[in-house]
């Protein structure tokens, strides 16, 4: 799962759980059935689990593009600057 996918998965999870909680509460209250509320919410949790927990392909649509190794060799890693106060290394 790429960075964008992780963000999407987290948002999806929060929105879907909250939405199913609201639907479950309103339905349960309207039907005067506590059991109905819990069943609807449990269904919402299962659905959210199926959608956001496995690593589905649509979470991987923004792959990181690493530089080519030959490109990296042309721009060598900068060396750590040696401070002037440091003692010169013994030969």
Partner 1 sequence: MHSFGYRANALLTFAVTIVALMCAIASLSDNLNTPSPTAEIQVVNINWFQKQTHGNDEVSLTLNITADLQSLFTWNTKQLFIFIAAEYKTPKNALNQVSLWDAIIPAKESAKFSIHTSNKYRFIDQGHNLRGKEFNLTLHWHVMPKTGKMFADKIVMSGYRLPEEYR
Give the footprint of partner 1 on this chain (CB under 8 A): 1, 6-7, 9-10, 13-14, 17-18, 21, 24-25, 28-29, 31-34, 37, 41, 45, 48-49, 52-55
Cβ count within 10 A of residue 37: 19
Identify which of 52, 74, 69, 67 has the alpha carbon closest to the alpha carbon of residue 5: 52
Which CA distances in Å does 35 have to 7, 27, 28?
33, 11, 7
> To the nearest whole angstrom, how small is the minimum distance from the Cβ of residue 40 to partner 1?
11
Which of residues 61 and 72 has its CB atom nearest to partner 1 in the complex?
61
> To the nearest whole angstrom, how small is the minimum distance from the Cβ of residue 67 to partner 1?
22
């Amino acid at each position: 799962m790429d960075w964008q996918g992780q963000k999407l998965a987290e948002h999806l999870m929060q929105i879907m759980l909250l939405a199913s909680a609201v639907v479950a509460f309103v339905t349960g209250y309207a039907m005067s059935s506590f059991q109905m509320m819990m069943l609807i919410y449990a269904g919402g949790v299962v659905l959210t689990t199926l959608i956001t927990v496995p690593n589905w392909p649509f979470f991987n649509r923004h792959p990181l593009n690493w530089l080519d190794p030959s490109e990296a060799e042309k721009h060598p890693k900068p060396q750590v600057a040696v401070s002037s106060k440091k003692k010169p290394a013994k030969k």
